[in-house]
Amino acid sequence: MKTCKTSRSPGVDQLMVEYRQEFLDQVRDDIKLLIALHWQEIALNQDKIKLNPDWSAYQELEKLNKLKIFTARDGDRLVGYFVVICGTNIHYKDHLFANNDIIYLHKDYRKGFAGIRMINFAEKCLQKDGVSVLTINTKAHQPFDKVLERLKFNMIERVYSKYLGGK
């Protein structure tokens, strides 16, 4: 586990937020509450598509050293996560890409720099792991483009979605 500490001040309160790279077994129980909040806040088609993470698929990715989980904790409390899946790109086999799976920061921690610091921490860890390109996707109905632009990310494509039915 890699760690670095930072602090921020939301108004009068002084909170210590610690950023870590953790393994799935370390965060699975803690992450379930945040994933539910995340899903409620941003998921589309909630009446048709229920939250049901494939934990065994995540474990397999981790065994292959492709899953990277970065967290933000206030003490022992998980307040944010940034999960990426790493691998070569079929078009660029000489480079390692880290593609954002999910990113979330509890609403109480969005003022200030906690989100920026979590992304910066992940970026440093990924660079040490030899990653060439980090991509982060945002929801069109809840973007955080200004944060990503501040961090020198470039918008590279648009993605469209359509619910086709099924289960």
Q: Does domain 2-150 have CATH number 1.25.40.10?
A: no
| pLDDT per position as a tens digit, 95-150 | 999 999 999 999 999 988 999 999 999 999 999 999 999 999 998 888 899 999 99
Strand pairing category for 15-22 and 2-8: antiparallel
| pLDDT per position as a tens digit, 1-12 | 454 444 343 433
- Domain coordinates in residue numbering, the chain: 2-150
Tokens of 100: 């954002």
- Confidence at residue 143, expressed as pLDDT on a 0 to 100 scale: 87
Q: How many angstroms separate the CA atoms of 144 and 130, rounded?
A: 26
Residues 1-9: contacts with CB under 8 Å, at least 24 apart: 1/26, 2/125, 4/121, 6/113, 6/117, 8/112, 8/113, 8/114, 8/117, 9/112
